[in-house]
């Protein structure tokens, strides 16, 4: 099947061709015709499956057929859980609509609100927003929803994990009931389905794959190593394999910063992205990584959610994640769009419980490779695969903001 068979306009087919895409992914083949027909949709897919294009392209086509946004109003709202994902989606849509009469804006916390208010004065056809900042702008009379005809909730499971359920419910009460709604989530947990029941009307459900199954093109293995020698091991592997662009995951912001200093000391260009970095610093670091100015990008899980790095060959789990589901999101940064990739995990004896949780989630034992000279003093115990069903976890309760303090996103 080709993109031309999905019902997209010649203008969007030209955009797709210029981007170098020839064949639609599974989620694009299933979703685009449904969205163009006006149906509500609940869909799941792995990272790198083309989900942003799956909802953005038909959304753009429908918006081009309508009247432009009025002052301080929006026509389509895309809710996302993090600033990074807001920027990624905004950049993609702006690239697709270059030269078209659509205005796209992204709003999120962590930066000054006044410039965002000013950019919304002419109105926006498409607004990508985190929940807290959207409510801040509404309370400041910076935007209205009377023109809104489309709602997209992207990464709904992450939205719930981060405690945004209360904010999302507040937003739903503000929106017109007569709208088309789309909801995308890595999991169809009971909590996600409960939220879908409040957002969607007679929705079509697309369960593309099990979120716990890593992409088939990703080769996974782990190296047992003492915690104190992980940095030394990483340096050896980078030099040994001459990796030019890799993504490394650390569990903490402090650990990420320490690793950057260690790599730079050994003449390896590296930079970190995490929650303590300003938004401008994060964007600058990502751009520099894209340009090849850094060989190693070190990230924490929350900061890396939504990163779009094409043809990334190697992902290193410097620390195993506390939340096993984050392992799927981490390694989903490689092996994308049919490209092969490698996901290598460093594991110490202290992380054995985290390792067992990851292996139980993905339903397989990670192959182990001993790196000569780095054999751990405290051996990593042998794993026994636990195949019991995993009970869905309860979402975090939203934090109550202090009196007079608006919620942040």
Q: Which CATH superfamily is domain 3-207 in?
A: P-loop containing nucleotide triphosphate hydrolases (3.40.50.300)
**218-362 fold:** Rossmann fold (3.40.50)
Asked if residue 29 lies in contact with residue 6, where contact means CB atoms within 8 angstroms, the answer is: yes
The mean per-residue pLDDT over the stretch 265-284 comes to 84
What is the DSSP-derived secondary structure letter of residue 98? Answer: T
148 against 363, higher pLDDT: 148
285 burial via Cβ count (<10 Å: 0-12, 13-18, 19+): buried
235 against 323, higher pLDDT: 235
- Residue 210: predicted pLDDT: 46
Nearest to 374 by CA among 347, 344, 354: 347
- Per-domain residue ranges of the chain: 3-207, 218-362
What confidence category does residue 276 fall into, taking pLDDT thresholds of 50, 70 and 90? confident
The mean per-residue pLDDT over the stretch 166-188 comes to 92
Alpha carbon 154 to chain centroid distance? 9
pLDDT tens digits along 277-335: 776 677 788 888 888 899 999 998 766 665 556 567 899 999 999 888 788 878 877 76
Alpha carbon 321 to chain centroid distance? 16
What confidence category does residue 27 fall into, taking pLDDT thresholds of 50, 70 and 90? confident
Alpha carbon 53 to chain centroid distance? 14
In what order do the strands lie in the sheet containing 180-184? 104-107, 124-129, 74-79, 150-153, 180-184, 41-44, 204-207
The mean per-residue pLDDT over the stretch 189-216 comes to 77
- Residue 248: predicted pLDDT: 95
- Residue 396: predicted pLDDT: 53
Out of 70-79, 186-195, 371-380, pick the least confident.
186-195
């Amino acid at each position: 099947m080709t993109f031309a068979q999905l019902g997209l306009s010649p203008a969007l087919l030209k955009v797709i061709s210029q981007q170098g895409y020839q064949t639609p992914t599974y989620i694009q083949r299933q979703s685009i015709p449904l969205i163009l027909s006006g149906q509500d949709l609940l869909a799941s897919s792995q990272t790198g499956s083309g989900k942003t294009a799956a909802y953005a392209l038909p959304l753009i086509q429908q918006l081009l057929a309508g009247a432009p946004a009025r002052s301080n109003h929006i026509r389509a709202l895309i809710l996302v859980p993090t600033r990074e994902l807001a920027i990624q989606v905004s950049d993609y849509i702006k690239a697709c609509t270059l030269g078209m009469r659509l205005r796209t804006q992204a709003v999120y916390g962590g930066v000054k609100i006044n410039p965002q208010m000013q950019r919304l004065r002419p109105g926006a056809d498409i607004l990508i927003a985190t929940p807290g900042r959207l409510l801040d702008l509404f309370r400041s009379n910076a935007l209205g929803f009377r023109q809104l005809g489309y709602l997209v909730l992207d990464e709904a499971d992450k939205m719930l994990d981060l405690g945004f359920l209360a904010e999302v419910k507040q937003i739903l009460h503000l929106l017109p009931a007569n709208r088309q709604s789309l909801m995308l989530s890595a999991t169809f947990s009971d909590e996600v389905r409960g939220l879908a029941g409040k957002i969607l009307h007679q929705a079509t459900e697309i369960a593309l794959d099990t979120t716990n199954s890593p992409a088939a093109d990703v080769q996974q293995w782990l190296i047992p190593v003492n915690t104190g020698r992980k940095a030394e091991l990483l340096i050896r592997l980078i030099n040994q394999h001459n990796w030019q662009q890799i993504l490394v995951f650390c569990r903490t912001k402090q650990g990420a910063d320490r690793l950057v200093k260690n790599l730079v000391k050994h003449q390896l260009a590296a930079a970190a992205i995490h929650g303590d970095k300003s938004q401008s610093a994060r964007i600058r670091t990502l751009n520099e990584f894209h340009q090849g100015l850094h060989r190693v990008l070190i990230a924490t899980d929350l900061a890396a959610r939504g990163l779009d790095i094409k043809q990334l060959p190697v992902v290193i789990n410097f620390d195993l994640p506390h939340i096993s589901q984050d392992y799927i999101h981490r390694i989903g940064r490689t092996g994308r769009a049919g490209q092969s990739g490698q996901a290598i995990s460093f594991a110490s004896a202290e992380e054995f419980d985290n390792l067992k949780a990851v292996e139980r989630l993905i339903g397989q034992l990670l192959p182990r490779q001993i790196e000569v000279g780095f054999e751990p003093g405290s051996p990593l115990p042998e794993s026994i695969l636990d195949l019991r069903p995993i009970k869905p976890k309860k979402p975090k309760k939203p934090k109550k903001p202090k009196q007079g303090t608006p919620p942040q996103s």
